Amino acid sequence: MAIHFSGEFATPRTPEEVFEFLSDPNKFAPLLPDFQSMTMHDETHFTVKVKVGVGNIRGSAEIKMELAEKVKPLRAQYKGQGSAVGSQVTVSAGFDLHPNGDSTRVLWQGETSVFGKLASMAGGMLEPLGRKNIQKLIDGLQQALAEPVAKESQASSPVEAPGFSPANAETPDNAASAPAQETHGDHNA
């Protein structure tokens, strides 16, 4: 069973800043819904572990990921495959960046395919759950990229501190540079 998805959103960050965020697995992967852990193998290869739950079927998925395309500051694309609850899973997610005045338009698209026990047992529940999780990922990206990078910190430090997870944004740097605003909660806590 294949699930295709696509959409777009705008962020006040520059294409370079958005690209730096999206092309860094340490920033991107923790935004995955039900994220558990990640192991980096090199700059573009990593394994991510996420919780899986569809109806009474529970377990975890281990997906070997690759940052397959990295065209600064225009495009980042991830591809991966792995196993979950006795099933094979393949994923792809691409992000095309377009300058739009003082902001960046992010066009995103991808596909998830599930074959085996999970697909046959979960049936029609798999697609709505997949779409819900994709929306959680995009919501997390939008929240992480919602504020422009502070100009004074831009010259002396990276976009975010290493290991920073926007879903758990309780760092002193973030608190000082971003105005208080409503959050959607810690979905990765």
pLDDT digits (tens, 9 = 90+) for 6-31: 999 999 999 999 999 999 999 999 99
Query: Is 170's pLDDT higher than 80?
Result: no
For residue 26 the two structure tokens come to 């340490």
In angstroms, rounded to a whole number, what is the distance separating the alpha carbons of residues 170 and 183?
11
Query: Is 79's pLDDT higher than 70?
Result: yes
CA distances from 24 to 70, 90, 128, 164, 186 (A): 10, 20, 28, 11, 21
Q: Which of 125, 127, 91, 97 is nearest to 110 (CA)?
A: 91
**Dihedral sign computed on CA atoms, order 159, 153, 146, 144:** positive
Residues linked to residue 64 through DSSP beta bridges, in sequence order: 47, 81
Model confidence pLDDT, tens digit, residues 82-121: 998 888 999 999 999 999 999 999 999 999 998 888 777 7
Query: Is 159's pLDDT higher than 50?
Result: no
Model confidence pLDDT, tens digit, residues 39-57: 999 999 999 999 988 777 7
Q: Which of 126, 117, 54, 113 is nearest to 79 (CA)?
A: 113
In angstroms, rounded to a whole number, what is the distance separating the alpha carbons of residues 5 and 13?
24
Query: Is 35's pLDDT higher than 80?
Result: yes
Note the pLDDT of residue 93.
Answer: 95
For residue 132 the two structure tokens come to 């819900």
Note the pLDDT of residue 188.
Answer: 40
Query: Is 73's pLDDT higher than 60?
Result: yes
Mean pLDDT value of segment 166-181: 38
What pLDDT band is residue 151 in, cutting at 50, 70 and 90?
low
